[in-house]
C-alpha cells in the first residue's frame, strides 16, 4: 500500500526510466533478445533478413529487437508505438550487460559471423544511445502512430511483434492486421508472438480475467490486462486475412493454475484446452 501511495507522486517519465532500466537488465538484454529472436526465425524457417526493411509494432521502452535486426543485416528497421514510449538510454544497459560472444554465435546462422562482429562492435562504441544516433544503424522510431487506423507510408519485407497484439482492443485487431498486410511487400512475412494470459497476475492467477463481465471490460482493461481472445479466435482472425497464408509456430498451454469455475458468456472458446492456451506464435506470409 505504501508503495502505491508513493507511486502516485512519481512523475511518469521517472517511472518509465526505472522500468526501462529494469527490463534492459533482464528480458530486454541484447543477448537474451538475440536468443528469443533467433528462436522465432528458426521456427518460421526464415534464413535471412539481409537488406530487408523491417517493422516492429509496439516496441515499448527498450528497442533491443530493432538492434538485433540491424545486427543480422537489415537495411532499415522501423519501430512503432501507439504513443511515444521509447527510452533509448536504456540500451546502454541492454548492450553493456550482455555477453557479446553469445550474441554473435546465436545470430550467426542468419548473417556472416564476421559482419555481425563488425556491426556489434559499432553498436558497443555508442556511449549514449538516442533516437538520433540509432538512425546511424538504420533504426527509425515512429510514434505516436495508430496502425489500426492508418498504414505507414513505406513498405516492409518483415513485420514482427512480441507480446503486443493481446493489448489491442478487440475491435481494432482486424483493421490493424489488414493494414499490416497492406504494408508488406509481396512475399513478405510477419511473426506475431501473442501472450494470452491475464497481465494483471500472470504468475498467480493467469486466467482470472475470463470471469470479468463483458460490459465492464472496456478498452482500458483490454489494453492493461489483455483482450481475452483465446487461441481459436486468433486463428479465425488470421484465416480472414486475404492474400495470405499462415501457420502456428508454437502454442503453449498452462496447466499449473486452475481455470475459473465460471467463464463470462462473452468469451468464445472451443474447449478447456483452448481456454488454457497461454502463448501463441503465428507466422504469416503474403502471396
pLDDT for 14: 80
Whether the pLDDT of residue 8 is over 80: the answer is no
pLDDT for 10: 64
pLDDT for 212: 97
pLDDT for 2: 40
Mean pLDDT of the chain: 95
Give bridge partners of residue 107 from the DSSP assignment.
Answer: none
Q: Which residues contact 70 (CB under 8 A, 6 or more apart)?
A: 77, 119, 123, 137, 138, 139
What is the per-residue pLDDT across 233-248, written as a single tens digit (0 to 9) for each?
Answer: 999 999 999 999 999 9
Residue 13 binned pLDDT confidence (cut-offs 50, 70, 90):
confident
What is the per-residue pLDDT across 198-210, written as a single tens digit (0 to 9) for each?
Answer: 999 999 999 999 9
pLDDT for 125: 97
Whether the pLDDT of residue 16 is over 80: the answer is no
Going from the C-alpha of 236 to that of each of 141, 178, 230, the distances in angstroms are 31, 14, 10
pLDDT for 15: 76
Exposed/middle/buried for 287, CB within 10 Å: 0-12, 13-18, 19+?
exposed
Going from the C-alpha of 144 to that of each of 17, 53, 111, 185, 235, the distances in angstroms are 19, 20, 32, 23, 28
Judge contact between 170 and 124, C-beta under 8 A. no
What integer is the mean pLDDT of 107-123? 98
Dihedral, CA atoms, 143, 148, 153, 158, nearest 10 degrees? Answer: 90
Exposed/middle/buried for 131, CB within 10 Å: 0-12, 13-18, 19+?
middle
Whether the pLDDT of residue 1 is over 60: the answer is no
- Cα 103 from Cα 32, distance rounded (Å): 8
pLDDT for 163: 97
Parent domain of 120: 2-286
Whether the pLDDT of residue 5 is over 50: the answer is no
pLDDT for 68: 98
Verify cis geometry, omega within 30 degrees of 0, for the bond prior to 13: no
Exposed e or buried b per residue across 189-217, where buried means at least 16 C-beta atoms within 10 angstroms of its C-beta: bbbbbbbbbbeeeeeeebbbbbebeeeeb
What integer is the mean pLDDT of 264-270? 97
Total domain count, the chain? 1
Residue 17 binned pLDDT confidence (cut-offs 50, 70, 90):
confident
pLDDT for 226: 98
Q: Which of 118, 15, 29 is nearest to 72 (CA)?
A: 118
What is the per-residue pLDDT across 124-166, written as a single tens digit (0 to 9) for each?
Answer: 999 999 999 999 999 999 999 999 999 999 999 999 999 999 9
What CATH number has the domain bearing residue 225? Answer: 3.40.50.150
| Residue found under cell 492486421 | 177
Q: What is the largest CA-CA distance in the chain?
A: 56
**Measured distance between the N- and C-terminal CA atoms of the chain, rounded to whole angstroms:** 53
What integer is the mean pLDDT of 71-96? 97
What percent of the chain clears pLDDT 90, i.e. is strictly above it? 93
Q: Where are the alpha helices (DSSP H) in 100-253?
A: 100-107, 113-124, 131-134, 170-183, 219-225, 231-239
Residue 6 binned pLDDT confidence (cut-offs 50, 70, 90):
very low
pLDDT for 62: 98
- Cα 219 from Cα 168, distance rounded (Å): 8
Sheet with 184-195: strands ordered across: 139-142, 76-80, 53-57, 156-162, 184-195, 277-286, 244-253
Amino acid at each position: 500500500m505504501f508503495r502505491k501511495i508513493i507511486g502516485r507522486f512519481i512523475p511518469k517519465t521517472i517511472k518509465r526510466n526505472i522500468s526501462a532500466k529494469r527490463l534492459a537488465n533482464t528480458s530486454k538484454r541484447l543477448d537474451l533478445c538475440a536468443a528469443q529472436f533467433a528462436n522465432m526465425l528458426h521456427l518460421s524457417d526464415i534464413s535471412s533478413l539481409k537488406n530487408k526493411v523491417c517493422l516492429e509494432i509496439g516496441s515499448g521502452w527498450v528497442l533491443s529487437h530493432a538492434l538485433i535486426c540491424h545486427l543480422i543485416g537489415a537495411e532499415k528497421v522501423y519501430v512503432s508505438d501507439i504513443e511515444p514510449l521509447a527510452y533509448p538510454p536504456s540500451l546502454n544497459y541492454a548492450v553493456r550487460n550482455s555477453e557479446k560472444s553469445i550474441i554473435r554465435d546465436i545470430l550467426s546462422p542468419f548473417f556472416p559471423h564476421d559482419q555481425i562482429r563488425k556491426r556489434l562492435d559499432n553498436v558497443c562504441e555508442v556511449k549514449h544511445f538516442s533516437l538520433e544516433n540509432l538512425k546511424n544503424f538504420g533504426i527509425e522510431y515512429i510514434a505516436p502512430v495508430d496502425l489500426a487506423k492508418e498504414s505507414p507510408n513505406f513498405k516492409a519485407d518483415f513485420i514482427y511483434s512480441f507480446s503486443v497484439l493481446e493489448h489491442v482492443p478487440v475491435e481494432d485487431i482486424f483493421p490493424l492486421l489488414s493494414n499490416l498486410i497492406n504494408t508488406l511487400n509481396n512475399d513478405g512475412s510477419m511473426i506475431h508472438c501473442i501472450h494470452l494470459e491475464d497481465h494483471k497476475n500472470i504468475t498467480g492467477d493467469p486466467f482470472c480475467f475470463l470471469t470479468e463481465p463483458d460490459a465492464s471490460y472496456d478498452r482500458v482493461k483490454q489494453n492493461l490486462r489483455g483482450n481475452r481472445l483465446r487461441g481459436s479466435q486468433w486463428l479465425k482472425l488470421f484465416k480472414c486475412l486475404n492474400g495470405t497464408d499462415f501457420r502456428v509456430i508454437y502454442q503453449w498451454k498452462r496447466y499449473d493454475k486452475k481455470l475459473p469455475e465460471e467463464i463470462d458468456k462473452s468469451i468464445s472458446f472451443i474447449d478447456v484446452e483452448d481456454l488454457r492456451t497461454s502463448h501463441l506464435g503465428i507466422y504469416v506470409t503474403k502471396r
